[in-house]
């Protein structure tokens, strides 16, 4: 049994971590922090967790207490992990950061997109990008994990098999993505109000979104060179889920795209390549740490379309974080993550 801490436990990713870890056979949550809710019982804020965390209370971040944990999750806005990660690493604690603090390897590029200097550039060299389907072995031995963003997870898993094999033009990639409102976080914001988001669909960040450099970095690694990507996110009137419709231009005649995807993800417990002709739905992954993919080639032309769906709070955040934890500590990869999706 290992002990973990959660920094920033009152947001959606924080409560999702608690939900997943409640059924993890090898993990005990030792501490959970919140400056605004310090002293409040976890189950008083989240009654769905009654019976699992009845004695656990939110507390102020205490580096000494957190440093006694085997691992600490950061479910915080960007910039928070910068300040604490180094101190915790020195105490022997392993870090799993769900924020964007260590996802982009270039500190200057990070500063451009996040509007502030990077607070811990000395740690970027050892941070491992926590996409298990790409970096499984590096994750096992890492002390510092940068959990991928939700859009980057859906987009990369859809494009990776094509780019790794050189089947599509890396300079002409399109990612048309839709997300539920929980992707904007739990803070009160007018665009996320029911009367504002319901019965409406809108694009945002079309001229540049913070996830764009992260996606380009990952796809560039897969292609072996820089990629050209058009990425347009949209807000949809649903609570959870991401649907990414991905377009690529074939550069040669592939033997069997369906088989290619099936072989690439044959040993991946959390990627499901669906049968030919499928159209995966976001509700099919609600509450599950799963990415479902389907491949289409309209009219046998030179365009390939990949449909990729995930739950933005699970495979796009907290579930992927727990998957990284399992790899880091030698647990079964599916520990705490083997529940099917919730339907309807």
CATH number at residue 27: 3.40.50.720
**Of 30, 23, 25, 26, the residue nearest 6 (C-alpha):** 30
Domain end point (choices 126, 161, 194)? 126
Residue 177 is among the residues annotated as catalytic for this protein: no
Evaluate whether residue 197 is within a structural domain: yes
The one catalytic residue among 43, 150, 177, 291: 150
Q: Do 166 and 86 belong to one domain?
A: no
Q: What rounded mean pLDDT belongs to the chain?
A: 96
73 Cβ contact partners less than 8 Å away, ≥ 6 residues apart = 4, 5, 6, 7, 17, 96, 97, 98, 321, 325
SS3 71: strand
Task: Give residue 287's domain range.
Answer: 150-312
Find where tokens 């995807």 sit.
261
pLDDT, mean of residues 335-339 = 96
- HEC profile of 290-343: CEEEEEECHHHCCEEEEEEEECCCHHHHHHHHHHHHHHHCCCCCCCCCCCCCCC
**pLDDT reported for residue 12:** 93
Q: Do 159 and 121 belong to one domain?
A: no
Evaluate whether residue 133 is within a structural domain: no
Q: Do 106 and 178 belong to one domain?
A: no
Tell me the two tokens of residue 151.
Answer: 């859009």
The long-range contacts involving 263-269, CB below 8 angstroms and separated by at least 24 positions, are: 264/160, 264/161, 264/164, 265/133, 265/161, 265/293, 268/132, 268/133, 269/333, 269/334
Q: Do 165 and 45 belong to one domain?
A: no
**In this structure, what CATH number is given to the domain that contains residue 199?**
3.30.360.10
Evaluate whether residue 105 is within a structural domain: yes
Number of separate domains in the chain: 2
Evaluate whether residue 19 is within a structural domain: yes
Evaluate whether residue 318 is within a structural domain: no
pLDDT tens by residue, 134-165: 999 999 999 999 999 999 999 999 999 999 99
Q: Do 169 and 286 belong to one domain?
A: yes
Instruction: Round to whole Å and give the CA distance between 142 and 144.
Output: 6
Q: Do 54 and 196 belong to one domain?
A: no
Express as a percent the part of the chain with pLDDT over 70.
Answer: 100
**pLDDT reported for residue 197:** 86
Q: Do 82 and 220 belong to one domain?
A: no
pLDDT tens by residue, 75-129: 999 999 999 999 999 999 999 999 999 999 999 999 999 999 999 999 999 999 9
Number of Cβ within a 10 Å radius of residue 39: 9
Q: Do 39 and 174 belong to one domain?
A: no
Q: How much is the pTM?
A: 0.96
**pLDDT reported for residue 199:** 93
Q: Do 53 and 156 belong to one domain?
A: no
Find where tokens 């959970």 sit.
32
Q: Do 250 and 298 belong to one domain?
A: yes
Evaluate whether residue 280 is within a structural domain: yes
SS3 3: strand
Q: Do 116 and 181 belong to one domain?
A: no
pLDDT tens by residue, 192-205: 888 888 899 999 99
114 Cβ contact partners less than 8 Å away, ≥ 6 residues apart = 78, 79, 100, 210
Q: Do 158 and 120 belong to one domain?
A: no
Find where tokens 């990713």 sit.
13
Instruction: Tell me the pLDDT band of 235, cut-offs 50, 70 and 90.
Output: very high
């Amino acid at each position: 049994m290992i002990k973990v801490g959660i920094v920033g436990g009152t947001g959606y990713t924080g409560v999702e971590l608690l939900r997943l870890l409640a059924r993890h056979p090898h993990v005990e949550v030792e501490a959970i922090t919140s400056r605004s809710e310090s002293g409040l019982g976890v189950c008083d804020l989240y009654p769905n967790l009654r019976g699992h965390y009845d004695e656990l209370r939110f507390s102020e971040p205490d580096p000494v207490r957190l440093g006694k944990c085997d691992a600490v999750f950061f479910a915080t806005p960007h910039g928070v992990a910068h300040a604490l990660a180094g101190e915790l690493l020195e105490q022997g604690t392993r870090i799993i950061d769900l924020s964007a603090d260590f996802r982009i390897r270039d500190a200057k590029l990070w500063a451009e997109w996040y509007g502030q200097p990077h607070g811990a550039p000395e740690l970027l060299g050892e941070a491992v990008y926590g996409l298990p389907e790409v970096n499984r072995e590096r994750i096992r031995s890492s002390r510092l994990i940068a959990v991928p963003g939700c859009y980057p997870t859906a987009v990369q898993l859809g494009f990776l098999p094509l780019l790794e094999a050189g089947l599509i033009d890396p300079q002409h990639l399109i990612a048309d993505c839709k997300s539920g409102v929980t992707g904007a976080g739990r803070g009160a914001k007018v665009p996320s109000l029911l009367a504002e988001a319901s019965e409406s669909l809108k694009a945002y960040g079309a001229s540049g979104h913070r996830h764009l450099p992260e996606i380009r970095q990952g796809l560039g690694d897969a292609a072996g060179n820089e990629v050209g990507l058009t990425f347009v996110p949209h807000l949809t009137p649903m609570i959870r889920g991401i649907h990414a419709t991905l377009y690529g231009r074939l550069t040669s005649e592939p033997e069997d795209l369906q088989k290619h995807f099936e072989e690439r993800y044959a040993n991946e417990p959390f990627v499901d390549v669906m049968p030919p002709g499928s159209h995966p739905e976001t509700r099919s992954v609600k509450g599950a740490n799963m990415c479902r993919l389907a491949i289409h080639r309209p009219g046998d032309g030179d365009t390939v379309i990949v449909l990729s769906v995930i739950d933005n709070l699970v495979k796009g955040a907290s579930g992927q974080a727990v998957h990284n934890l399992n790899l880091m500590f030698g647990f079964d990869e599916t520990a705490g993550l083997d529940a099917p999706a919730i339907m309807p």
